């Protein structure tokens, strides 16, 4: 087990007053070695702490005494959320996006986790195939919820075949135990055409109603298929298949509402785009509990763009924010290091181009067309890097953006959603400096886009804030490194 390494020390915090430094390793807290940031949070809740700290260049750990108010945050951020070993996934799903990545990318992108702790902290989905009695005891005792569980199918044989793991047939017993123990759990069904759609999907909904009625929500999402997939049976949905999924979800929303008093199941926005159908109203999403799973995202964006902020207040932003010390990792990582996302109204009259993916273009075009400004356009960027049916803005790479922007005129304001970035890097390893045009990175929400188009500061920005701008490099024809993202099981 490795000790948590300090990456941030908040100014004037108890940790700063005690002399804790960036780079220090916290070996023990009051005599105990924490196994993850959850236990760290519990151990640092006391008012008097004795930390055993290993400092660079010193052979022996040094003791540091910390005095603070009970419950007051220690005031540090550590390098990882898990200090022992992340529990990796032992499934081999044909639809797993990690198996669809090209070779030669950074190692962290190939890590498949199936760790309930990361589900609690970051909303990652777990199949529970590596869940144990000790895990169940801890979750129930410490009330570690909400958790997010990949179901895919309730028929044991179908689920085991989809996970390519015999434990898939039995691991949902843990879901029942968690629900009976009062833990909030959200489920997910990744629908693969010809595998778990049609009658199997109906059977899954019936199985959930019969065996797991305590689930809070179920998100139904289509598989993402890149050009690197080697699974012959995996294919994109047809329009008719996408429409059938929408019909099934809407039919079972009625069933769940009648029996349980709540709709329970929701279809991903992508299904309505694939089926060429209008999205349900914002009220149908009941507070957008699966917003980060691409469910209700469009209606929340439209509501915020139109100034109806209350309609989007139920969006879940990630549980790491409530756990002191946990780093923002994965798709909740800081998008652009040092970015304050401030935006002061600009005096120039430069035309605005909103850069996005194929799906984003379809959603944003009617909003932009209805805005009073007439010099705003959408630049739809094809995802040639991943290919397949990948059309979301969050999977755009620097290489594809550079190719598209190189053909665009200089002098315009190019707006880029921050969801494309993680720690200042695109999924292919390139950075904003590799782009041939200056871009402005803005938060990926409707209120922020509307503020820029209206010439107003971003919501929550300081009055004197400046736009987060990234200038293109001096060499306009510099080739970006072609070097990506993971997807839940």
- In CATH terms, 6-78 corresponds, of 3.30.530.20, 2.30.42.60, 2.60.40.10, 3.30.70.260, to 2.30.42.60
pLDDT of residue 60: 92
In 25-70, which ranges are continuous DSSP H helix? 37-43
Topology of 97-322 in CATH?
TIM Barrel (3.20.20)
Q: Who contacts 108 (Cβ-Cβ below 8 Å, separation ≥6)?
A: none
Matching residue, tokens 């760290």: 40
CA atoms within 13 A on the CB side of 429: 13
* CATH 3.20.20 domain span(s) along the chain: 97-322
pLDDT of residue 486: 30
Q: Provide the b/e sequence for 52-91 (b: ≥16 CB within 10 Å).
A: bbbeeeeeebeebebebeeeebbbbbbbebbbeebbebeb
Q: How far out from the chain centre does Cα 417 lie?
A: 14
pLDDT of residue 488: 42
| 133, 137, 143, 149 alpha-carbon torsion, rounded to 10° | 0
Judge whether 4 and 23 are in contact, CB under 8 Å.
Answer: no
Instruction: Measure Cα distances from 376 to 166, 396, 412 in Å.
Output: 53, 21, 10
Give me 301's structure tokens. Answer: 């964006």
For 246, the enclosing helix (H) or strand (E) is helix 239-260
Per DSSP, what are the bridge partners of residue 336?
Answer: none
Task: Report d(CA 67, CA 14) in Å as an integer.
Answer: 7
For 186, the enclosing helix (H) or strand (E) is strand 185-191
- Return the closest-CA partner of residue 72 out of 34, 51, 39, 45: 45
Judge whether 126 and 149 are in contact, CB under 8 Å.
Answer: yes
Q: What is the largest CA-CA distance in the chain?
A: 66
Helix (H, G, I), strand (E, B) or coil at 469: strand
pLDDT of residue 316: 53
Task: Report d(CA 461, CA 459) in Å as an integer.
Answer: 6
In 115-238, which ranges are continuous DSSP H helix? 116-122, 133-142, 156-163, 173-180, 198-211
Helices and strands (H and E) in the chain: how many = 13, 14
Task: Report d(CA 375, CA 452) in Å as an integer.
Answer: 13
Instruction: Measure Cα distances from 322 to 149, 171, 485 in Å.
Output: 21, 29, 25
pLDDT of residue 326: 81
Give me 244's structure tokens. Answer: 């059938």
Question: What single-letter DSSP state applies at residue 367?
Answer: H
Judge whether 463 and 347 are in contact, CB under 8 Å.
Answer: no
Helix (H, G, I), strand (E, B) or coil at 292: helix
* CATH 2.30.42.60 domain span(s) along the chain: 6-78
Encode the chain (489 residues) as per-residue pLDDT tens digits: 688 999 999 999 999 999 999 999 999 999 999 999 999 989 999 999 999 999 998 989 999 999 999 889 999 999 889 998 899 999 999 999 999 998 877 777 888 899 999 999 988 999 999 999 999 999 999 999 999 999 999 999 999 999 999 999 999 999 999 999 999 999 999 999 999 999 999 999 999 999 999 999 999 999 999 999 999 999 999 999 999 999 999 999 999 999 999 999 999 999 999 999 999 999 999 988 888 889 999 999 999 999 886 655 454 555 666 677 888 776 566 666 544 444 444 556 799 999 999 999 999 999 999 999 999 999 999 999 999 999 999 999 999 999 999 999 998 999 999 989 888 889 999 999 999 999 999 998 999 999 999 998 888 655 444 444 444 433 222 222 222 223 345
Task: Report d(CA 366, CA 294) in Å as an integer.
Answer: 19
Question: What single-letter DSSP state applies at residue 355?
Answer: E
């Amino acid at each position: 087990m490795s000790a948590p390494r300090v990456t941030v020390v908040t100014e004037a915090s108890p940790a700063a007053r005690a002399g804790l430094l960036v780079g220090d390793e916290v070996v023990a807290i009051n005599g105990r070695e924490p196994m993850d940031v959850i236990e760290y949070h519990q151990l640092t809740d006391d008012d008097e702490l004795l930390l055993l700290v290993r400092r660079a260049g010193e052979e022996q750990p040094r003791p540091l005494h910390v005095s603070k108010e009970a419950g007051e945050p220690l005031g540090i951020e550590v390098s990882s959320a898990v200090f022992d070993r992340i529990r990796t996934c032992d499934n081999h799903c044909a639809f797993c996006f990690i198996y669809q990545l090209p070779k030669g990318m950074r190692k962290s992108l190939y890590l498949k986790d199936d760790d309930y702790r990361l589900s609690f902290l970051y909303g990652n989905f777990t199949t529970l195939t590596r869940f144990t009695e000790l895990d169940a005891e801890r979750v129930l005792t410490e009330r570690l919820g909400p958790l997010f569980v990949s179901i895919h199918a309730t028929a044991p044989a179908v689920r085991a075949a989809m996970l390519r793991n015999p434990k898939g047939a039995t691991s949902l017993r843990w879901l029942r135990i968690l629900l009976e123990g009062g833990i909030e759990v959200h489920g997910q069904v990744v629908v693969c055409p010809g595998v778990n759609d049609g009658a199997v999907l109906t059977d899954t909904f019936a199985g959930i109603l019969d065996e797991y009625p305590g689930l809070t929500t179920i998100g139904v999402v289509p598989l993402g298929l890149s050009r690197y997939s080697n699974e012959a049976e995996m294919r994109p949905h047809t329009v008719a298949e996408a429409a059938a999924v929408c019909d099934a979800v809407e039919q079972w929303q009625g069933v769940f509402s009648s029996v349980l008093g709540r709709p329970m199941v929701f279809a991903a926005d992508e299904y309505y785009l694939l089926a060429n159908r209008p999205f349900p109203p914002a009220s149908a999403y009941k507070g957008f509990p699966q917003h980060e799973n691409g469910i209700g995202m469009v209606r929340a964006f439209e509501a915020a763009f139109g100034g109806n902020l209350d309609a989007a207040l139920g969006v879940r932003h990630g549980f790491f924010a409530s756990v002191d010390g946990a780093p923002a990792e994965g798709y909740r990582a800081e998008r652009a290091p040092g970015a304050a996302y401030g935006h002061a109204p600009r005096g120039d009259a430069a035309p605005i181009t909103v850069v996005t993916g194929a799906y984003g273009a379809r959603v944003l075009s009617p909003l932009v067309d209805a805005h009073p400004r007439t010099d705003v356009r959408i630049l739809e960027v094809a995802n040639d890097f991943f290919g397949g049916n990948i059309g979301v803005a969050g999977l755009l790479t620097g290489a594809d953006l550079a190719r598209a922007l190189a053909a665009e005129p200089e002098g315009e304001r190019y707006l880029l959603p921050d969801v494309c970035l993680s720690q200042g890097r695109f999924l292919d390893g390139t950075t904003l400096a590799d782009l041939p045009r200056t871009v402005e990175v803005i938060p990926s929400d409707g209120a922020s886009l509307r503020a820029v188009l209206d010439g107003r500061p971003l919501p929550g920005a300081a009055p004197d804030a400046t736009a987060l701008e990234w200038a293109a490099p001096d060499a306009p024809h510099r080739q970006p490194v072609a070097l990506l993202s993971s997807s839940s099981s």
